[in-house]
Amino acid sequence: MPLNAGTKLGPYEVVSLLGTGGMGEVYRARDERLRREVALKVLPASIAQDTDRLRRFESEARAASALNHPNIVTVHDIGKSNGTTYMAMELVDGSSLRQMLAGGAIGERKMLEVAVQIADGLAKAHSAGIVHRDLKPENVMVSKDGFVKLLDFGLAKPFVAPGSGDGSMIPTIAGETQPGTVLGTVGYMSPEQATGREMDARSDQFSFGVMLYEMLTRVRPFERDSCTETLAAILRDGGLSALKDLGPRLQAS
């Protein structure tokens, strides 16, 4: 059940609900200490009550908070109040890339500006040894003044989500952050991700390429009628057939 406006979680006071997803609910909140607004992510009980998952979440949140870059959302704090686990992050006043794509055509200049900033954020994280593992339009925010912010950097997704709640019907696959299990979002994951193999920065680069294709054509290159068929398409051609179709689709767009 969503938290009511005025609910206190540690030093934060809930203002309004921003959105929901598999990782829980995100609220606009006010930090009473510094008198600023933040995005407050409240974790679902399935994660908050699992000691191992919570410990990994906290560890990776600390790693993400160390990434000081204009294209990566800043993690301010993580804590627990009255049995509720939360994470406080920089509040981005803008829209997700998914919302922008759903809203119609993005000009070439704007698309290039967004793509360059995504690449810059990824480069910073990869230089620090952090792999995103779930790069997709839902995890890219574009502020009203044009700054791109990458969300959920380096955070594992140990749950099954039927969708992000903002237009994406591609589910996230559950799994632990170790070789042999699958982690990521079907349709954007790399071949090694889809087979549970060990990942490095190249996996994010594959996902970035899929996003670029979608930004150019408004088509998800590997999307099929089912998750299984989508995974098979990724494993079968690794993008070769998608690239062959890119020219005609660009001409038609």
- The CATH number given to whatever domain includes residue 38 is 3.30.200.20
Handedness of CA 91, 208, 234, 248 (dihedral sign): positive
Looking at the domain assignment, is residue 27 inside a domain?
yes
Catalytic annotation on 52? no
In this structure, the answer to whether residues 52 and 70 fall within a common structural domain is yes
pLDDT at 161: 32
In this structure, the answer to whether residues 86 and 99 fall within a common structural domain is no
| Over residues 37-46, mean pLDDT | 88
| Residue carrying the six token digits 């680069």 | 205
Tokens of 240: 């070769």
72-121 pLDDT, tens digit per residue, is: 999 999 999 988 989 999 999 999 999 999 987 678 899 999 999 999 99
Given 40, 73, 90, the domain boundary residue is 90
In this structure, the answer to whether residues 227 and 126 fall within a common structural domain is yes
168-209 pLDDT, tens digit per residue, is: 434 444 444 444 444 568 889 888 888 888 888 999 999 999
Given 90, 108, 123, the domain boundary residue is 90
Measuring CA to CA, how many Å separate 157 from each of 22, 57, 167, 210? 8, 9, 19, 20
Looking at the domain assignment, is residue 1 inside a domain?
no
- The CATH number given to whatever domain includes residue 128 is 1.10.510.10
Q: How far apart are CA 56 and CA 92, in angstroms?
A: 25
Question: Cα 52 vs. chain centroid, distance in angstroms?
Answer: 22
- Domain limits for position 73: 8-90
In this structure, the answer to whether residues 169 and 239 fall within a common structural domain is yes
In this structure, the answer to whether residues 242 and 179 fall within a common structural domain is yes
Looking at the domain assignment, is residue 175 inside a domain?
yes
In this structure, the answer to whether residues 246 and 154 fall within a common structural domain is yes
Annotate 115-149 with b (16+ C-beta within 10 A) or e (fewer): bebbeebbebbbeeebbbbbbbbbbbbbeeeeebb
pTM as predicted: 0.79
Query: Looking at per-residue confidence, does 47 or 76 come out higher?
Result: 76
Looking at the domain assignment, is residue 57 inside a domain?
yes
Catalytic position from the list 50, 77, 93, 134: 134
In this structure, the answer to whether residues 20 and 135 fall within a common structural domain is no
Query: Domain count of the chain?
Result: 2
In this structure, the answer to whether residues 112 and 209 fall within a common structural domain is yes
pLDDT at 181: 44
In this structure, the answer to whether residues 143 and 212 fall within a common structural domain is yes
Q: What is the pLDDT of the chain when averaged over all its residues?
A: 81
pLDDT at 164: 35
Tokens of 145: 């003044």
